[in-house]
Amino acid sequence: MLKRTLCLAALAAGLLGLASPAGVAQPDKKPSAADLAKSKKAIQELQDFVGVWNLEGTQKMGAATVAWKEKVTWGWTFKDGDGWLIVDFADGKGKYYTRGEVRYDVEKKKYLLTLVAAGKDATKLEFVGDFTKGALKAERKDPKTNDVVRVTLNTVSEGERMAMKFEKQDGGKGLFSPVFAMNGPKDGLVAGGPKKPECIVSGGAATMPVTYNGKTYYVCCSGCRDEFNANPAKYVKK
C-alpha cells in the first residue's frame, strides 16, 4: 500500500510538471490602446478571484485522502497600460505551485493561465481556456503523451468561497479523473456583513483605503493601490 501511495504521489507531481506546450503566443507587436482596454475588460470578469483565500487542498492517495492548507492570494498588477491578475500560493511555498498569472489574448479571445510549479526547476505551465458560467476553465496538453490537464477556477456562495479543481485526461481521450482540489473561504470575511465599497481602479469589492487631495477612496488589492498612487488623478476623474 505504501509503495502504491508513493507511486500516486509521484504521478501527481509528474503531471503537474509536464513540459510546457506551445500554448497561445503573446503578440510581438505592442498592443493598441483599444486592445489593452478589451484585455482589461476581459480580466475584470475574474474580479471575484481578487482577495486572500484560506484554502484546504485534498487529494486521494490510494485509499487515503491527504489534506493540507494554503493561503492563496489573488490581485491585480499593471504595466504600460496593461492589467492582469497574479496569484501567490502560500507565500511562494505552495504544495504544487508557487505563483502564477492570468492574462487575456485579445486576438484569439482566450484566457492564458500560467502557473509556476513548485520545485527547483520552477517550470512554467501554460493553460489556455475560457471564462463561462462564472468559471475559468483552461487546459494544457503534453506534446509527448497527449495527456491533458484541466484547471477549473471559480467562486461560489456569492463570492465568499473559492474552488480550484485539477483534473487529468490520459492520452487526451476518455473521461477526466480528479488530481486534487482546493476549496475555502475568503480571509476576514464576515457573514452578513456590510457590502464593501467598490475599487476605484478595477471595480471589485474594495477593502484598502487610499487618499488623494484629502479624500479617501478604496481599492481591492496592493496592485490596484500601487496603480492608484501612481495615477490618482486618472482614476478620480473617472
Mean pLDDT (whole number) for 163-171: 97
**Cα 211 to Cα 41: distance, rounded to the nearest angstrom:** 25
Model confidence band, residue 189 (pLDDT cutoffs 50, 70, 90)? low
**Cα 234 to Cα 214: distance, rounded to the nearest angstrom:** 16
Dihedral of the alpha carbons of 55, 61, 64, 67, in degrees to the nearest 10: -20
Q: What is the pLDDT of residue 30?
A: 78
Residue-level length of the chain = 238
110 secondary structure, DSSP code: E
Per the CB < 8 A criterion, the answer to whether 40 and 82 are in contact is yes
Cell of 15: 503531471
**Cα 170 to Cα 216: distance, rounded to the nearest angstrom:** 53
Q: What is the CATH number of domain 2-10+32-185?
A: 2.40.128.20
Residue 198, Cβ neighbours under 10 Å: how many? 15
Per the CB < 8 A criterion, the answer to whether 101 and 114 are in contact is yes
How much is the pTM?
0.82
Three-class SS of residue 14? helix
Q: What is the pLDDT of residue 11?
A: 45
For 26-81, what is each residue's pLDDT tens digit?
445 678 889 999 999 999 999 999 999 999 999 999 899 999 999 999 999 999 88
* Alpha carbon distance, N-terminus to C-terminus of the chain: 62
- Per the DSSP assignment, residues forming a β-bridge with 71 are 54
Q: Would you kindly state where each structural domain of the chain is located, as residue ranges?
A: 2-10+32-185, 194-238
pLDDT greater at residue 2 or residue 198: 198
The b-or-e profile of 145-168 (16+ CB within 10 A means b, else e) is eebbbbbbbbbeeebebbbbbbbb
Residue 29, Cβ neighbours under 10 Å: how many? 6
